[in-house]
Each structure stands twice: as structure tokens, then as C-alpha cells.
Structure 1
Amino acid sequence: MGLNSFWQEDFFLTVQNFNHQIRTAQVEPYYIIECNKNVLIHLVPLDNGFYPEELIALQDKYQKENIQLIHLWEDVWVAKRTQVLNRIHSFLSLNKSFHGRKAKIVALDQKQTSSFLTENHLQGYVKAKYSFGLIANNEIIGLASFSETRPMKSKGENYQSAELVRFASKGGLTIVGGLSKLIKHFTKQIKLNDVMTYADRDWSLGKGYDKLGFTLSQITEPAFLYVNRETLIRYFPHRLPKNTLLAFEAQNDLNLDDFLALNGFVKLFNTGNLKYHLLL
């Protein structure tokens, strides 16, 4: 797959095609695109001198002005172009609306879940215990996946929690009340005390969860990860390819970061997550 050195210009021209009001707000040291008065997109190159605290401070600065700043990394744009454009389409209120009450809910298998999330979620598919789809005109238009229940003895002897692992709607569509409907369906079948989930701070202020009655319980620290420059696949340290780790352990000259850099990986970071709980 590889990278394109003109990716920032490519992004700007692509998005400008469906919204001529978009403009470059700042170039140095941050390449920032103004989508509208409430949404800015910071285009982050893989090779940069930024620190997590710096980009979090930039987010906080704009949030105080009621402006959302999104950090869009180079590899995400190149590898997930369609999904990125779908998210921006939504931010610009260009989606078509569909009322969730008109859709029916069905349980989905792993193949259906993987296919839908790969196509429609920025972070793609991840394995989960339960998956439910919203169906309209014999088509999946929305999906939520949930973890198995987990006892939380620190909160009580019989306290049970589950995680909302993924939620996605079909590209170009906003399903009004869709996530709420899926959560209610899940919690009617499984006895729980709460549902927890995470919002990616690179992309979200968590406002959608606030509207659904979730409570912010924690802001997690930024995490470091690695991306393969050729495939653009992202890996957290504990999920690096086995053959790469074996090759690293077989040598004694380089530390992990230097070894990975020599073998086509670049180290990057995110700005952490917002952790939410919905009490039932």
C-alpha cells in the first residue's frame, strides 16, 4: 500500500470536492483544515516531532472555544480513506437520516460482523461475544457489538458489566436512535448493572454518549503504537507480529524501537480514550 508524500494536499482537495467552504486554517507547525466553525482537522504526518501532551493541549485549546479538533494521521487517511470521508461527511451533517424505529434487530454472526465493521468502522473489526444489526430493506444499516459480561466485585458481589465494543452505521447514513435501540435490545437479554465503552479522543469528544445518558468515568493516557510503513497496519506493542518479535529477541544490539525502525515500522501515538459508563 505504502505512503503518499502529497497526502495532505490530496486530503484537502478530496474533501473540498464535496464542501467548497473547507479551507486551510493553519500550516505551520500544525496543518489544520477548517471544515466549519465547529470542526477542525489536524493532518498529522507519520514523521513528526510532536508529543502526545502537545496534541492533547491543542485539542483542549479548541474545545474551550466549543470547537472539535480531530487528529487525522497520515496512515489512517491512506489506509482508511473511505471510512475517513464517511466520518467527515457525518461531521458536516451531509448524511441522510433514517429513524431507528423503522429498522428491525437481528443477531449477526462473525462473518457478517467482520464484513460490516471492516467496511464502515475506522478501527475495523475486533472480536466480540455478541453482535446485533439494524436491518432495513433486507440490508444491514447499523451494528453494535458487545463483550461477554464481566463481574465487577469492587462494585458489589453480583455486579455485572459489559463493554460496547463497536458501533457503526452504513456510510452516508445517520440512524436516529439506532445505538440506543441496540443497547436496549442487548440489555433486555443480558442481566447487567452497566454498559461501558470508549471514545477515541483523536476523533471524538464523546458528545454522542453524553446524549445517551453515559457518564464520563475516566480519561485514559495516550498509548504508543507502531505502524508498518508498507502495509499501514497498526500494532500495539503486545500485538506485534510474532515473526517480528522473534527476530528482535534473536539479536542483542538494538532496543525495540530502533529494531522496528530499521525494519520498516514507525512509532506513533494516540491521544487516549474517554471511558464512559451507562448505569442500568
Structure 2
Amino acid sequence: MDILPRNVSEFVTGLKIQLNCDLVIKEIHNRTFEIEVLGSDILILFYLAGAPKIKYEDRGSNKLPIHIDEDIWLTKPDLLLNRIKVLVGKGERVYARQCIAARIDKKTALSFQKEHHLQTELPGKYRYGLFFEGELVAIMVFSGGRLMRHSENYRSFECLRFCSKQRLIIIGGFSKLLKAFILDFNPNDIMTYVDADWSNGDKFEKLGFIKIMVTEPQVFFVNKENNQREPAKENVLNSDSFYKIFNSGSIKMIKYLNSN
């Protein structure tokens, strides 16, 4: 396209600088832009305010679609660009075998998420960090154990967050933190929800997780003034100061470990 909307144009410019590669941009739907990162296996779908999500499998592409809403670009541009950089394999590599896994406190986990994760930070109950040469480079946050009724003494835990430091690709980091937790708590299974805006779950399947279901898209309300997302309260639902967006849902996945 010759002329792009300002926020799309600024995102594309930032992407070119960050990735140093060629892009192909098309408007494929009203207020929705497809950005192909040449030489990679991802395809970015950029949605201007209020544009409906597209089920990209309907277009027959073999590239992984990444869904990005305009409000995320406006509120967390550096985090967004750095995450895409890592996703296409252009980040700095650190190997988990060179790292040490250890428990960390709630304050550390929350602070790390706030600096390095696109979603809202979660405290969880159990928190683990990965340290490279004394520096915290990744964290994993878990829920408390839930006793399941289908088997006696069967405990299920949820992996609530995995987050690595911006610009770093931690090779084997997810597995190392997961193993540290398993060694300490010996769970029967670990469940997690994978953000379908960013993943199809295939990488989790390679780590032994099984796809259980895809949840319905979640609704958010975005403040038109500051681009912050708000919960669906009455004052928000009835206000012209907000617009509604949906994500692509989440993929529920479970890794079974020990059965009774």
C-alpha cells in the first residue's frame, strides 16, 4: 500500500529497524493489515481500534499468525517489538544449561513481569527464576495445587506465566524451570493456557503438553483516551469513551506426569 494509517506505518517502521529484514504489507480487511516478515515463519495481523479478529486458518497460509491490537502497540511498543524479534529468532541466545534455577519471591516475580511481559503480571503461589551469571533472565509462576476428584490424592497445578528478559532467547529455559518445579512438588499434571493471539500450541506439544480445548475469545474494553484496557464494569459498558475488542481465545493444555 502507498499510504498506511499512522499507527500502522509507525509499527512497520519500528519493525523494519528491529528486524532488519523486508516486509510485505497488505490491507486484507477493513482496518486489518497483514504484515509478512520475509524469511520467517510468522505472519503479523495488525488490527486498528475495534477491528474484528480473523481466523487465519481460513486463508490457507502455513505461517503462524500473530494477532496484534493497536492498543498494545500504543502502550507497550518496545516490549512488543522485542517480543517479535525473539519470535523470529533474532534475539541474543542464552542456554539454560548455563543457568541456575531457583525459587524467587513475589516482589521479584511481579517486577520482572511488569518490565518484560505484555500481559498483566500475576503473583501466583510458587515462583521460579532462571539466573545467568547471577542475573535473572527468565521466570515461571505457578498456582497452588488443586486436588482433583477423579483420583485419590491427585494434584494438578497451573503454570500461570512464563516470561524471559526482553531481547533474549533462552534455549531450554521453559523446560529447565518446569523441571525444577516438578522436582520440588511432584505434581500429577501441570495445566496452562496458551495465548492464541501468539501461539498455536505446537511448541508446547513438543514439551509433552496435550491440547485439551480452545476457550472462547475474551472481551476487553479499551479507553479511547489512554488506550488502557478496563474490565467490563457498568460505567464502561455504557460509555462512549471505550471501544470493545476480542482476543483469539486461549488453548488449554495439560502435561500429564504421575498417575495414581
Q: TM-score by structure 2 length?
A: 0.90
Q: Is 1:270 paired with 2:236? A: no
Separation of aligned partners in 2, 1:229 and 1:192: 44
Cα distance change, pair 41–180 in 1 and its aligned pair in 2 (3 A): same
> What SS does the corresponding residue of 1:128 show, helix, strand or coil?
coil
Equivalent positions of 1:29-40 (< 5 A) are: 29=29, 30-36=32-38, 37-40=40-43
SS of 2:24 mapped into structure 1: strand
In structure 2, what residue type is equivalent to 1:125? E
Q: How many pairs are equivalent?
A: 250
Counterpart CA distance in 2 for 1:130 and 1:235 is 27
Is 1:43 the counterpart of 2:43? The answer is no
AA matched with 2:79? Q
Matched residue type, 2:220? L
How far has the Cα of 1:152 moved from its partner? 1.7
Structure 1: unaligned runs, 5 residues or longer: 249-255
Aligned match of 1:65: 61
2:196 corresponding residue in structure 1:
201
Q: Which moved more, 1:194-203 or 1:64-73?
A: 64-73
1:250-261 correspondence to structure 2 within 5 Å:
257=237, 259-260=238-239
Retained in 2: the 8 A contact 1:22–1:33? Answer: no
> What is the TM-score with the length of structure 1 in the denominator?
0.84
Contact 1:229 1:266 in 2 (8 A): yes
Write out per-residue CA displacement over residues 190-221 of structure 1, whole angstroms, 9 at most, x where no aligned residue. Answer: 13110000111111111221111111111111
Contact 1:43 1:74 in 2 (8 A): yes
Q: Distance in 1 between matches of 2:86 and 2:98?
A: 20
Q: Does structure 1 retain, via aligned residues, the 8 Å contact 2:19–2:90? A: no
How far the C-alpha of 1:157 sits from its partner, in A, is: 2.6
- Which of 226, 233, 237 aligns to 2:221? It is 226
**Does the C-alpha gap of structure 1 residues 157 and 235 become closer, same or farther in structure 2, counting only changes over 3 Å?**
farther
Residue 147 of structure 2 is matched in structure 1 by 151
Within the candidate set 201, 208, 215, 2:210 is matched to: 215
Contiguous gaps of at least 5 residues in structure 2: none
Q: Which moved more, 1:39-48 or 1:194-203?
A: 39-48
Instruction: State the Cα distance separating 1:147 from its structure 2 match.
Output: 0.4
More helix by share: 1
Alignment equivalent of 2:128, drawn from 117, 127, 132: 132
Q: Do 1:143 and 1:169's aligned partners in 2 also have CA atoms closer than 8 Å? A: yes
Distance 1:159 1:235, change over 3 A: farther
Q: Which amino acid aligns with 2:58?
A: K
Match of 1:18, SS?
Answer: helix
Cα distance in 2, alignment partners of residues 268 and 121 from structure 1: 20
RMSD: 1.7
Residue 94 of structure 2 is matched in structure 1 by 98
- Greater fraction strand: 2
How big is the shift at 1:106?
2.0
Give CA deviations for 1:37-67 in whole Å, capped at 9, x if unaligned: 521111101133x2x5xx12xx2135x5321
Cα deviation digits, residues 109-135 of structure 1 (max 9, x gap): 121111111111111311210111001
One-letter amino acid of the counterpart of residue 17, structure 2: N
